[in-house]
Structure 1
Amino acid sequence: MLGMTSYLGWKIDFRHPDREPAFAAPDSVSWRVFKNPIALGVGGIAAVLLEFADARIRSGVWDHSVFKTDPIGRSRRTGVAAMVGVYGPQSAARRVIQGITNMHAHVQGVTPSGEPYTALDVDLLDWVSATAGYGFLTAYDRFVSPVSDADKQRFYREGEAVARLYGVKHPLTCEADFHAMLATLLPRFEPHPINTEFLDIMKSGRAARGVPKGLQSAVVHAAVAILPPDVRARLELGPAYDLGPWGERVVRFMGAAAERIPVPNSPPADACLRLGLPASFLWKSPDKQARILQDMQPASAPSPAT
């Protein structure tokens, strides 16, 4: 069925129920950012590196998921979860997020250094949420289109409701919140072979069949480029991961192209149809989007006769 996506056994219909709102509106910064696959690819890799920098998250993912045997599938499923939180009907988003939270309730263990962890630890939930928001927004801002400070704050506010459904206690409200959280966690960060193994997989060509390895390598280097410098230093991701001028141009070109080319039957396009908008709405200019939304407003009632 068109509009239907499977996620861990749940069927998610981005086209129905008709007119049911998502947690973010069609004119939101979130809808603009998440429609761009380059921003998602670069930002998603950066978010994983920021998460894996903490041994508790790294151990939790490595020991309790299929990441080490199916990193691409696991990454794609994570992407679907992000999409349903932004574009899905609120009822579907609540159902999927509750299911994920139920699974996380069973994730607990001990890191190689002997530190206990649980996936529902508030500090870890806060950090995972923060890394996703920071990664996607920063990637879009650098490689797709500049985002104003006001729109950056809008983006973080738009994600608060979904973050709280996941159990996040301190969702980001601005970029300064991210850096404050980072300053607290940074002393814990450490290099690890899992980080480079993950990056090697993403560069290998397995992440996107049919896409030249050189392009995938550029995306990986772009992800490392948007890491805060102190994090990159802690993870010991040295000059071998530098994004050169050619790679920068390639990623920017792909990001700009993805802004103009609609993707039919994708969650963003299907969400537009669900709300009575053209499937190509998100790929139109801001002026055209504003006119479409204005035309959808009900006509004002006439003033009572005096």
Structure 2
Amino acid sequence: MTLAEPVRRWRARSGEALFLRVAGPHGNRSRERIHHRPGPRWFEPGAAVRVVHADASMFLGGLRSLLLQSLHPAAMAGVASHSDFRDDPWGRLAGTSTFLATTVFGTADDAQAAIDAVRTIHGRVRGISPEGIAYSADDPDLLRWVHVAEIESFLVAHTRYGAHPLTPARADEYVAQTARIGRALGAVDVPETVAELEDAIEGYRPVLRATPAALDAAQFLLREPPVPWTLRAGYSALAAGAVESLPPWAADALELRRSRAGAAVGRAAGHGATRAVRWLLAGQPEG
């Protein structure tokens, strides 16, 4: 037996474990349905949204989006009051990753069913936080914030760490395609170009701030990661890349101080972690 065979088996086992961590215990069944159930899709093969959402940089972009989204007080109030991200972070991640995969790669019927399910949940999430912040998960402007923070994060992560970064025209295509999902969820005035996306983020700046709940969430995500010790090094590298990719004003608000040297280390860590994830998942079955 050559050395390559044990490495191949280890890669397959580790990749499967990582996939099931992110996709949940029924990940293989979901993958089969999402990618192989016959029927029309919202997005054709080769679409920019498929390129971005199939890349390992999504791991880093997802973490970045959580940090950025937390800076909207109403959004963070809703998460703090209704989400089980502390008690069941992997379950929440599995739900989010399955939703993204279904809307981007699944049949049109399954994509719409996923949208309808999320909108039903959003209709029940409303209230006032202990700090007196009113929130409603189906508020169109709040949905717009969550959408733009998420899409901008995925795009920034893909530009920095993606295997095949998009051209400017393809980046605009990505924003326009994801706008379909944002509007389906109930968001209004959804950006359709990179320039509009950047303007939208900038437009929210006056209302963004780090509430105690946001600082607590950042502490949990970055300092108390919900991962076993065997995955801590890889997770920490992804987290360093996510923090490095945040705009300076967002990192400052979350009290994530960065030096020039620290930013360089964070980017190197992000590259290393993303390449490691890509290598592990490349040994998994095709979607």
Q: TM (normalized to structure 1)?
A: 0.75
Whose helix fraction is larger, Structure 1's or Structure 2's? 2
Are positions 1:262 and 2:287 aligned together?
no
Partner of 1:107: 125
> Is residue 253 from structure 1 mapped to residue 278 from structure 2 by the alignment?
no
Give yes or no for contact 1:126–1:170 (8 Å, CA) kept in 2: yes
Tell me the distance in 2 between the aligned counterparts of 1:206 and 1:258: 17
Contact 2:140 2:186 (C-alpha < 8 Å) held by counterparts = yes
Structure 1 residues 178 and 243, CA gap change in structure 2 (3 angstroms): farther
Which amino acid is the alignment partner of residue 94 of structure 1?
Q
Matched-pair contact (CA < 8 Å) for 1:3–1:15: no
Query: Paired residue for 2:81?
Result: 63
Contact 2:115 2:184 in 1 (8 A): yes
Q: What is the CA-CA distance between 1:242 and the residue it aligns to?
A: 7.6
Quick check: 1:36 aligned with 2:31? no
Count of residue pairs brought into register by the alignment = 260
Give per-residue Cα distances to partners, 1:65-90, cap 9 Å, x unaligned: 21232223212311211111111111
Whether contact under 8 Å (1:36, 1:255) holds in the other structure is no
1:14 aligned to 34, 43, 55, which one?
34
2:206 aligned partner: 187
Any conservation in 1 of the 2:241–2:269 contact (CA below 8 Å)?
no
* Cα deviation code 1:77-132 (max 9, x no counterpart): 11211111111111111011101101110111113342322111111011111111
Partner of 1:221: 240
Alignment match of 2:106 (pick from 80, 88, 107): 88
Structure possessing the higher radius of gyration over alpha carbons: 1
Q: Does 2:90 align with 1:72?
A: yes
1:53 and 2:71 matched:
yes
Consecutive unaligned residues in structure 2, runs of 5 or more: 1-25
Runs of 5+ in structure 1 lacking a partner? Answer: 7-11, 271-306
Distance in 2, matches of 1:88 and 1:76, equals: 16
Deviation by residue 1:232-262 (Cα, 9 ceiling, x = unmatched): 2233221389855444334223434555663
Cross-structure match for 1:239 = 258
Q: Which moved more, 1:177-186 or 1:154-163?
A: 177-186
Q: State how far apart, in whole Å, the 1-side matches of 2:40 and 2:230 are.
A: 34
Partner amino acid, structure 2, of 1:175: V
Query: 1:210 deviation in Å?
Result: 6.6
Residues 67, 2 of structure 1: alpha-carbon distance in 2 compared, 3 angstrom cutoff: closer
Q: Secondary structure at the match of 1:239?
A: coil
Find out whether 1:164 has 2:183 as its counterpart. Answer: yes
C-alpha distance 72-81 of structure 1, shift in aligned 2 (>3 A): same
Deviation at 1:153, TM superposition (A): 0.2
Amino acid at match of 1:106: R
User: The residue matched to 1:72 in structure 2 has which SS?
Assistant: helix
* AA in 1 matched with 2:134: P
Q: CA RMSD in A?
A: 2.7
- SS of aligned partner of 1:117: strand
Q: TM-score, normalised by structure 2?
A: 0.80
CA distance in 1, matches of 2:74, 2:197: 19
Is the CA contact (8 Å cut-off) linking 1:225 and 1:242 kept in structure 2? no
